[in-house]
Amino acid sequence: MTKRALVTGGAGFIGSHIADALLARGLQVVVLDDLSTGRRENVPAGAEFQQCDVRSADAARVVREGGFDVVLHQAAQIDVRKSVADPVHDASINILGALNLLEAVRTAARRPRFLFASTGGAIYGDFVTPPNLEDYAKDPDSPYGIAKLAVEHYLAYYGRVHGVEGAVLRYANVYGPRQDPHGEAGVVAIFCNRLLDGKPLTVFGDGTQTRDYVHVKDVAAANAAAATASLPAVGTLDVRAMNIGTGVETDVLTLAETLRAVSGRDAEIEFAPARPGEQLRSAVSIGKVQKLLGWKPERTLEAGLKETFDYFAAQRG
């Protein structure tokens, strides 16, 4: 029987790629998105679409009555700066929205697996030395990271007490086609658009801060694998958590130079004051996900950046 999957936030950057990957594997896919940041044109033609807020009774009904085998929860408030400015709003979406869905999973006649998109950067902070393992200490510096960690705890609770099958995918810095170049966008999307506009690339601080850049299609492949693979028995918080990244630290200056090279665009690099509270180093260990799912990233940074730049260039016509 064909498996049935629900992707919340499936009109967004990461969620739409996950929907693509699931359809390619032959799953039936339903996308749930309120289109507050997602785009209707991102929803694959082969997917059913439900427009509603993850905090709503309608979203709970879709989960409870949809007959799903797996729910991939990608919908979130993703702007760290907004979470600092308005932590109540952040928690209403990122904590209460997830709880609304988890309660629906718990009460569904056919309980789906619940896969939760967490963060592999903000959850660990600067108190550990990369590459970060899943069981490293977690001390988030933002309401966004705190909310993600809180939902991980809730999912562990629902597993132990209610028998809900679930797993957590802690993403490193995801980049690629369809990423929003506005607002709290990833640096790759911002740099691509500045290159296309002939503007300088702005680097905050000295440019030595590092991130683990993983292509969105590799992240989608990890989710597709987690949707159908055998998972460990329910246990403590970190038992079901898997880092999704490359394990490689890349500093911002190297990222800028690589993008200039693959794009063939020569742009100046300008420096701006460091942003207070910005994490200095971030990368995740991926040994666990390789063991559990047989997954590893397929794209090199150079190839992934070239594909991403070409996408943004094509969007300009």
Q: What is the DSSP string of 72-98?
A: EE------HHHHHH-HHHHHIIIIIHH
The helix-helix angle for 187-197 and 252-263 (nearest 10°) equals: 40
Q: What are the Cα distances from residue 38, in Å, to 12, 136, 180, 262, 282?
A: 4, 33, 9, 28, 27
Q: What is the DSSP string of 137-149?
A: ----SSHHHHHHH
Nearest Cα to 256, choosing from 240, 269, 243, 265?
269
Which entry of 124, 144, 158, 171 is annotated as an active-site residue?
144
Q: What is the DSSP string of 159-197?
A: HHHH---EEEEEE-EEE-TT---SSS--HHHHHHHHHHH
Nearest Cα to 97, choosing from 117, 81, 121, 111?
117
CA angle at residue 317 from 221 to 14, to 5 degrees? 20
Q: What is the DSSP string of 236-264?
A: STTTSEEEES-S--EEHHHHHHHHHHHHT
158 classed as catalytic: no
Residue count (the chain): 317
The residues annotated as belonging to the active site are 144
